[in-house]
Amino acid sequence: MINKETLHEQFIWLSAFCVNYEECDYANVDPSAESSYADNRPIANEPLIVSDINAEYGLRSVSCLNDENVWTCCSDDMMRLYNLKGELVKSVHTKSKNAPYDIAVTKSGDLVHTDNTDKTVNFVKNTKIQTVIKLHGSSPHGICISSSGDFLIVINSDADKQTNVVRFSGPTKKQTFKYSDEGQPLYSPGGNNKFICENRNGDICVSDVEAHSLVVINKEGKLRFTYTGHPHIAWGSLNPVGIAADRHGQVLTADIISHYIHIMDQDGQFLHYIDNCYLYAPIGLCVDTRDILFVAEYYRGKVKGIQY
């Protein structure tokens, strides 16, 4: 059973957002908007739902183990592995009994999760859990695995609430990204609801819902671009949460308010959006090796596989 108090604490920001179809007036979307940039679509056909998994309500994150199985985490203390038929393959409780903040899968197929309550990053091998990183004075949030096998983690300072991205090799800190060349913070204060992925070119992409933007830096930490949405999408500010990159270098992010998935190229040029798959409060994203996009829906507790 979902702990409603935990849901409230972790997702209080959602209450300020539009969270049902009646409030989100789809009639106000400009019907000519899609056709105005249809020629730029990176896909040949309309996006198509190819799998529909009933998981748990309060989904937060999803990560592909392989092309047949996906890990999920939600607002309880359990991480669950599902196959594409929707069958539960495996479940693992967190060592702390806290809800995991985010999950990722290593190149060897092992699960990693962040625990922002006890300030740890934990490695799951089979059903055994080992704490790899223990932070002091800061909390880990979004996590991904880089092409080199490093951890890229969004970390929030307890003292000043400043956010930075840190690269770890195991427990060893290698790089910290916090400021632009002009000395301005790259990310808004507070680590909540910032998710991260690495693109094939080494760029580090962070969704910053508080700043209504997607922030992309190169592997040296130089700001490449900030994406704030497309003017033809009539939903006001971008509200990005889950983020992923595919094998073509395209970056995808879920807007939890418009229920759209934005797709852009590796230079931040808008390409297309997915709006025809009946998504509702999409929050977690991952892409498998076939470029099937898996979308975790927060309120419905569904994971949809989308061919795009």
Asked if the structure places residue 188 within a domain, the reply is yes
Q: Residue 295 belongs to what domain range?
A: 17-307
pLDDT of residue 234: 61
Residue 165 DSSP SS3: strand
Q: Are strands 120-125 and 111-115 parallel, antiparallel or unpaired?
A: antiparallel
pLDDT at 235: 67
The answer to whether position 12 is within a domain reads no
- The yes-or-no verdict on residue 40 having pLDDT over 90 is no
Contacts of 257 (CB under 8 A, 6+ apart): 17, 18, 24, 235, 239
Domain annotation covers residue 1: no
The number of distinct structural domains making up the chain is: 1
In a domain, 8, yes or no: no
Q: How far is CA 105 from CA 136, 138, 261, 304, in A?
A: 24, 23, 22, 19
**pLDDT value, residue 12:** 41
User: Which residue in this structure is represented by tokens 């019907």?
Assistant: 31
Q: Mean pLDDT, to the nearest integer, of 39-49?
A: 65
pTM of the model: 0.87
Exposed/middle/buried for residue 151 (C-beta within 10 Å: 0-12, 13-18, 19+): buried
Q: What is the CATH number of the domain that holds 167?
A: 2.120.10.30
Percent of the residues in the chain that have a pLDDT greater than 70, as a whole number: 85
**Is residue 232 over pLDDT 80?**
no
Bigger pLDDT: 234 vs 264: 264
With respect to residue 7, please indicate whether it lies within any of the assigned structural domains. Answer: no
Assess if residue 11 is contained within a domain: no
9 pLDDT more than 70 = no
pLDDT tens per residue, range 253-268: 999 999 999 999 999 9
Q: Pick from 284, 254, 220, 236: which is nearest to 29 by CA?
A: 236
pLDDT at 179 exceeding the cut of 60: yes
Across the range 198-222, mean pLDDT stands at: 98
| pLDDT band at 2; cut points 50, 70, 90 | very low
* 50 lies in some domain: yes
Whether residue 238 is predicted with pLDDT greater than 90 in this model: the reply is yes
Question: How far are the Cα atoms of 100, 112, 151, 193 from residue 143, in angstroms, in the given order?
Answer: 11, 8, 7, 12
Model confidence band, residue 126 (pLDDT cutoffs 50, 70, 90) = confident
Which pLDDT belongs to residue 122?
Answer: 98
Give pLDDT tens digits for 132-169: 999 999 999 999 999 999 999 999 999 989 999 999 99
Give the pLDDT band of residue 190 (cuts 50, 70, 90): confident
- Residue 65 is assigned to a structural domain of this protein: yes
